[in-house]
A and B are shown apart, each in its own frame.
Chain A
Amino acid sequence: SQQGEEDPQALSIQEGENATMNCSYKTSINNLQWYRQNSGRGLVHLILIRSNEREKHSGRLRVTLDTSKKSSSLLITASRAADTASYFCATDAGNMLTFGGGTRLMVKP
């Protein structure tokens, strides 16, 4: 049921740098959501962007959505070591979520 692809699969940056993760999907969607998962834990919802929205901000997070290209990006600005986690995009076509492969982000102090 994995619809999307994320890149990069892994990203290593220094604290203070920005991290950008990209997500592509295949079918029409109602919204796209980004989640964070710390190792061995459940998922935490970060941000939801609807199909008629192009950009959304939440704190240090900035999400864009381009429905013509079926792609989204998540930007984390001024990264911190505590941002180290896996990040997943998930598309909602109306009745369930379908996840991308995830990006493993490591932020070095």
Chain B
Amino acid sequence: GAVVSQHPSRVICKSGTSVKIECRSLDFQATTMFWYRQFPKQSLMLMATSNEGSKATYEQGVEKDKFLINHASLTLSTLTVTSAHPEDSSFYICSADPRTSYGYTFGSGTRLTVV
């Protein structure tokens, strides 16, 4: 149980285009989901907290207009990277807390490459 599905796993896009990443909780409801960004050989940095039915909370330094987050249902949060640039190339991971004794559950991640 407590599975988070993230899609796509890899995406290559051209500079200036937008990319949408989906994060779904498959067997539990998640009023809150978290979006992280990870550069090679570095740790996960929290970008934003996605709240069902309300605005996302962004961490300092993360551009709200560039990283659009929508959490329209209790099982789905999306992150849209708008007007992507090569420096946005990174590994994006979502997570949710299934409220069990086993910690947060993470998606398998999305490797974004902007060319």
Chain A contacts to B: CB under 8 angstroms: 1-2, 33, 35, 40-45, 48, 88, 90, 92, 95-102, 104
Q: Which residues of A contact B91 (CB under 8 A)?
A: 40
Q: Which residues of A contact B102 (CB under 8 A)?
A: 45, 48
Nearest-Cβ distance from residue B7 to partner chain A, whole angstroms: 12
Nearest-Cβ distance from residue B51 to partner chain A, whole angstroms: 11
Which residues in window 80-101 of B have CB below 8 A to A?
91, 93, 95, 101
Q: How many interface contacts (CB-CB < 8 Å) are there between A and B?
A: 58
Q: Which residues of A contact B107 (CB under 8 A)?
A: 42
Mostly helix, strand, loop or mixed at chain A's interface? strand
Q: Mark B34-75, 1 if CB is under 8 A from A, else 0.
A: 101000011111100100000000010000000000000000
Q: Which residues of A contact B106 (CB under 8 A)?
A: 35, 42-45
Contact B45 A45 (CB under 8 A): no
Contact B43 A101 (CB under 8 A): yes
Complex Cα distance A24/B34, Å? 23
Name the contact of A48 in the complex, choosing from B6, B36, B44, B101 (C-beta under 8 A): B101
